Structure 1
Amino acid sequence: MKILKVKDNTTYITSRFSCNKCIVSNILNKSLSQLDAEELFIYPESIKIVEDLTRDQMILQEFNGKYRTGNVMGFIGHGKERLIIQSRFCNDNEDYFLSYLLESVLNIPNIVSLDADTSSDKRLLDFLLFIFPKYLGSAIRKGLYKQYIYKQYNDMKIKGKIDIPRHLIRNIPFIGRIAYSQRLFSYDNTLIELIRHTIEFIKSKSYGSIILSDIKEEVNLIVNATQSYRACDRQKIIEQNKKNIIRHAYFREYSALQRLCILILKSEKHDIGGGIQNSYGILFDGAWLWEEYINILVSDIFYHPMNKSQREAQYLFNNEGRIYPDFISRVDKPRVIADAKYKPIKNIKNKDYLQVLAYMYRFDAKKGYYFYPDINHQESFQLKLNSGSTYENNVMGRNDISIIKLGLEIPQGCNDYYDFVDEIQLNEERFINNLKAIL
């Protein structure tokens, strides 16, 4: 097994990837939206369809003769090659930070503790299983998926097209039955059957009841709809779904769920990544995870418009200039704007300032904040907006408008995951206390 561990948002010499040539050839210089041909599951799916896809949304990019990783973390495999992308804010051994973000945001427990087998493939399957409830819940909110299907019958209640070849085979000599088929608009279709097979597969796991505990109603809905379910049809259902991928934009949630179910069920027979050309894996958008994690900590202080899902948009003008500030304070006098940045303090600059200042101007805010992961014990850092001009030689900092960089310290060098959790929870308390003290 050729395993390579790298950090996100980090530049490496190309020779470091010499043992992962197949993976590199499949992902190099491709945006996340271009990777549907690969068996790469990207969470959240919405980052592949946003309008402003940038270099940060690439897994690996060639730049000045070197390779630079993007803003995603996770696992990629191809044959005997494995690429593990860790957070740049973790230590060199285990990525406890990513595990903690996943546990906090997606309710995925520390998967390493679930089983002694902590290989990347095993962890990959566990990740897929634990995100299944969120994708099922999101899809069901659109309503149960209905599709035209053909069902075959062999009785005297003729309500469709007579199937003469099948009739000759099954009913000669004539015994009072007619073979026919009928086109029905049914819930019991190949996609819902695929979801049912996935649910049954999850139930077979020792921790399956934990995974499905929060979606009992959705599970019952799928079970009641799939009266034709037979465990022995699993491979046939998988193949039918691979040939009939859901592509309609309205059913985007079902399309994502379909891809997830296929990937989970292929892993049952160790067929995951079995294609000659395909890489497989699961990746998480670091910026999205960090923003959602911060929202959990500050939700009682700030509103949180959601850019990726395009909900709760704000406008610069009358229904023009749609914007999504990360955080808008619930208190409006004084109003405060904050931005979650998954980057070190020294990398928060230039366009970052312009964006937050524009939001501050729109909401008449006098203070803005950047919330970032801190690994250097950095104190909060305040920037005062300048007034005046260099032409008149009267530039000076204003006391009424400022931006503050406030870091949440990420523990380093912990003995195990549980030590990490204890330390970061203390840091979270300090972070909230510091925030409230300077608001």
Structure 2
Amino acid sequence: MRTTDNNGGYFKINDENIHKANLSRIANKSLLKLQENNADLLVFPHSLGIYKDDVEKSTIFSMDEETITTYNLMGFVGCNDSQLTITSRFSKEDSKDYFLHYMLQKVFSINLLDFDQKSNNENIWDFLIYLFPYFLKKAYTQGMFKAYKRNEYNNANIKGTININRHIQKNIPFRGNIAYSTREHSYDNDVTQLIRHTIEYIKVHPFGNGVLAKDNDTREIVQKFVFVTDSTYNKSQRNKIVAKNLKAFSHPYYFEYKLLQKICLQILRREKLSYGKENNKIYGLLFDGAWLWEEYLNTILKEKFLHPENKTGKHKHYLFEGNKQSIYPDFISKETPIIVGDAKYIPLDKHVSYHENSERAVSIYYKTLAYMYRFNSTNGFLIYPTNNQDNRYEELKIQDTEGVLKKIGLAIPQNQEDFINFSSSIKDNELNLRMIL
């Protein structure tokens, strides 16, 4: 089954009762609750709930007897043999989701120029292969993963626990060797072996070599993992290595490897997950559109605007004196006069509820207006994506003040012949956006 984000409840449920039963296990439940019991459900951003960004409270979709209503989440989710793909709302029924691919390319610095050579039925799991180098490099900033490993030896330099049974098997008649085992710190361990198996898996993917050789840093890190695992790597041991890594590790230092481990498992277990071989387990790969849209806009605006991050505390500000009530506007201009802005992924140019005189409609502007007041600014903006042919621009003057709120719709040119033309067209729209600001 296939629908789009923010579909307004127009997607009709398949009449088959089995699909309703499977999807009901996913519907109307918070992401945080779903992830607690389903390790094969991977959601970006992966820091759900840690930074109180409310992403963890959202649902993938809500469902009643007849329809499914989606929100800001995009990607793929399934239970048993019932699967639902949620594309961006700018993707047409039978075409590729250029917009989602483009935002992923910008945010994660990946190269998708070969995107159009793939079939129309591109599997959503391929996103993980594109994202692998990003998280590989992020994990490697903490160094090569080292863990205790039990090694078996049979020589005269005994320095561990003697293995009597193995000694009898190997050293009778006695020739001077002793069979023993030691527990040693090693770069060649279950986690690095998992990463190595993932590297070898990606190499045989149609675009694998391009992904692993996208830049010098990626190539060098890949070579280092190949080197430390080369003496013991065995393709036939892949299932065994996967099984050893199914239980997530907890480490006070190598915490970035935890997500990399999860991504590797998803890539290597792709076939098993895609066909729902684990009864009643929920699996999938999802991106929060609001988060992705905000990070994408940052790649466009970063020359002139700061992008405060509640996940790192970078560019933190406070609402009240005495460093009380930390705040993180989406965008603050680097120069004066101060301009503050907010990223809105919701379809502001479509849904009636965003225009009518209601509390919900007015609340869209509350946060930006509060930030304008806090920074003594008379200039604010909202940026949202629109499927109009050209960018939309509207100035909202705040009653009885000098303040102006710009409401800007960035045009998403989804109706293009190929991904290259899409990229070229949206870059023109990005340039026009920067000129407006």
Q: TM-score, normalised by structure 2?
A: 0.85
Which structure 2 residues correspond to residues 105-124 of structure 1 after superposition, within 5 A?
A: 105-106=107-108, 107-109=110-112, 112-116=115-119, 118-120=120-122, 123-124=123-124
Deviation at 1:259, TM superposition (A): 1.1
Compared CA separation, residues 23 and 96, structure 1 to 2 (3 A):
farther
CA distance, structure 2, for counterparts of residue 18 and residue 309 of structure 1? 46
- Aligned to 1:46, the other structure's residue is in SS state coil
1: CA distance between counterparts of 2:418 and 2:22? 30
**Does 2:354 align with 1:350?**
no
- The letter of the residue matching 1:158 is I
Aligned to 2:156: 156
Residue 233 of structure 1 pairs with residue 233 of structure 2: no
Paired position in structure 2 for 1:26: 25
| CA displacement, residues 74-125 of structure 1 (integer Å, 9 cap, x when unaligned) | 1224454331101123434323222222233232516652434x435xx233
Does the Cα contact within 8 Å between 1:148 and 1:186 map onto a contact in 2? yes
Q: Take 2:157 and 2:72, find their aligned partners in 1: how far apart are those partners?
A: 60
Q: Secondary structure at the match of 1:236?
A: helix
Q: Does 1:314 align with 2:317?
A: yes
Q: Tell whether 2:72 aligns with 1:71.
A: yes
Distance (Å, rounded) in 2 between the aligned partners of 1:169 and 1:319: 71
Partner in structure 2 of residue 44 of structure 1? 45
Show the counterpart of 1:406.
408
Cα 1:415–1:206 shift into 2, 3 Å: closer
- Please report how far the alpha carbon of residue 281 of structure 1 lies from its aligned counterpart in structure 2 after TM superposition: 2.5
Q: CA deviation at 1:65?
A: 8.2
Moved more, 318-327 or 42-51: 42-51
CA distance in 1, matches of 2:245, 2:172: 35
Change (3 A) 1:33 1:140: farther
Equivalent runs, 1:187-336 vs 2, <5 Å:
187-213=187-213, 214=215, 215-226=218-229, 227-242=231-246, 244-248=247-251, 251-267=254-270, 273-316=276-319, 317-332=321-336, 334-336=337-339
**Identity level (%):** 39
Contact 1:341/1:370, CA 8 A, preserved across alignment: yes
Distance 1:378 1:300, change over 3 A: closer
1:76 & 1:385 partners in 2: Cα distance? 43
From the superposition, tell whether residues 86 and 423 of structure 1 become closer, same or farther in structure 2 (CA, over 3 Å): same
Matches within 5 A, 1:69-148: 69-94=70-95, 95-106=97-108, 107-109=110-112, 112-116=115-119, 118-120=120-122, 123-148=123-148
The SS at the match of 2:157 is coil
Moved more, 334-343 or 359-368: 359-368
Question: RMSD of the alignment, in Å?
Answer: 2.8
Provide the C-alpha distance between the structure 1 equivalents of 2:98 and 2:22, rounded to a whole number of angstroms. Answer: 25
| 1:175-204, Cα deviation, whole Å (9 max, x unpaired) | 322121111122221111111111122223
C-alpha displacement at 1:31, in angstroms? 2.3
- Offset of 1:249 from its aligned partner? 6.4
TM-score of the superposition, structure 1-length normalised?
Answer: 0.85
Count, aligned residues: 416
Moved more, 139-148 or 271-280: 271-280
Read off the aligned partner of 2:367 and give its amino acid letter: Q
SS in 2 for 1:174: coil
Q: Note the residue ranges of structure 1 that are not aligned, 5 or more in a row.
A: 387-396
Secondary structure, aligned partner of 1:98: helix
**CA pair 132-18 structure 1, distance change in 2 beyond 3 A:** farther
Compared with structure 1, are the counterparts of its residues 207 and 429 closer, same or farther at alpha carbon in structure 2 (3 Å cutoff)? same
Change (3 A) 1:269 1:30: closer
Query: Relative to structure 2, which stretch is displaced further, 31-40 or 365-374?
Result: 31-40
Provide the residue aligned with 1:369 in structure 2. 381
Higher mean C-alpha displacement, 363-372 vs 34-43: 34-43
**AA in 1 matched with 2:396:** L
Contact 1:47/1:308, CA 8 A, preserved across alignment:
no
State the distance in 2 between where 1:22 and 1:145 align: 42
Q: Deviation string for 1:204-258 (max 9, x for gaps)?
A: 334222111221222133223324323332221111111x312346544211111
Following superposition, the deviation at residue 327 of structure 1 comes to 0.7
CA spacing shift, 1:271–1:285, aligned 2, 3 Å: closer
